[in-house]
A and B are shown apart, each in its own frame.
Chain A
Amino acid sequence: QVQLVQSGAEVKKPGASVRLSCKASGYIFITYGVSWLRQAPGQGPEWMGWISAYSGDRQYAQKFLGRMTVTTDISTSTAYMELRSLTSDDTGTYFCARDSGATGLTWGQGTPVIVSS
């Protein structure tokens, strides 16, 4: 079955960067995109960005432009998300999701990220 297994929890200081991974299995990786989303404590989900595993095309939410990079490694069916210049507002759980234009998002288990001095 479709699985997206994300990397473990991270604790970072303000100003640092974080790089999260998302390993996909159970489907042909290059035939779907991957969206990245996050959820602050007690809040709803927020979409951050997307990458086509086939073409490498990318889309970012305006608020993350210049601070976020999404990539994929087709050889290992893994997607990566790097977020730079972290602040306490970036504390939350980060999700990757298989993104099918036709059939919605299938989410990974999430990676907690804490930004604290």
Chain B
Amino acid sequence: DIVMTQTPLSLPVTPGEPASISCRSSESLLHTDDGDTYLDWYFQKPGQSPQLLIYTLSYRASGVPDRFSGSGTGTAFTLNISRVEAEDFGLYYCMQRIDFPYTFGQGTKLENK
């Protein structure tokens, strides 16, 4: 199975400041046939289901504000929030879906500093 490693596990941020979360995979998530990198980012608030933020490395899901952006290479990925807003506090997960079983990072808790 592909192992996903997220850092940091906890990230205190002051609203209005930027935030950055890293994720690494044990194998490349770059699909050589189509050139896409199958790495997604999900956001979860307590008591809610995870919601898709970024898919296929860098594409924002419908309705996701443009302060969120995803980037990376085949095994190293970053989720950036340009200016954190109050509604952004919660858990962030990276997930690979280049191969079954899909696997997740441990999660990063974005907290109000």
Point out which of B40, B49, B51, B52 has the most chain A C-beta atoms below 10 A from its C-beta: B49
Hey, which bits of chain A sit against chain B, CB under 8 A? 35, 44-47, 50, 59, 61-62, 95, 101-110
Using known A-B contacts A47-B101, A47-B102, A61-B101, determine if residue A104 contacts B56 with beta carbons closer than 8 Å.
yes
- Nearest Cβ in chain B — how far from A41, in angstroms? 11
Nearest A residue (CB) for B61: A104
Whether the pair A104, B107 counts as a contact (CB closer than 8 A) is no
* Chain A contact surface mostly: strand
28 A–B contact pairs at CB < 8 A? A44-B91, A44-B93, A44-B104, A44-B105, A44-B106, A44-B107, A45-B42, A45-B50, A45-B93, A45-B95, A45-B104, A46-B104, A61-B100, A95-B49, A101-B97, A102-B55, A103-B52, A103-B59, A104-B52, A104-B55, A104-B56, A105-B50, A105-B95, A105-B97, A106-B52, A107-B49, A108-B49, A109-B49
Chain B positions 28 through 61: 1 when the CB is less than 8 Å from some CB of chain A, otherwise 0: 0000000010001010000001111001100101
Which chain A residues lie closer than 8 Å to B97 at the CB level?
A: 101, 104-105
Which chain B residues lie closer than 8 Å to A109 at the CB level?
A: 49
Using known A-B contacts A107-B49, A108-B49, determine if residue A62 contacts B101 with beta carbons closer than 8 Å.
yes
Which chain A residues lie closer than 8 Å to B93 at the CB level?
A: 44-45
Verify if B71 is at the interface (C-beta below 8 Å from A). Answer: no
Which chain A residues lie closer than 8 Å to B51 at the CB level?
A: 107
Whether the pair B49, A110 counts as a contact (CB closer than 8 A) is yes
Nearest A residue (CB) for B63: A1
Whether the pair B50, A107 counts as a contact (CB closer than 8 A) is yes
Which chain A residues lie closer than 8 Å to B36 at the CB level?
A: 102
Verify if B103 is at the interface (C-beta below 8 Å from A). Answer: yes
- Nearest Cβ in chain A — how far from B91, in angstroms? 8
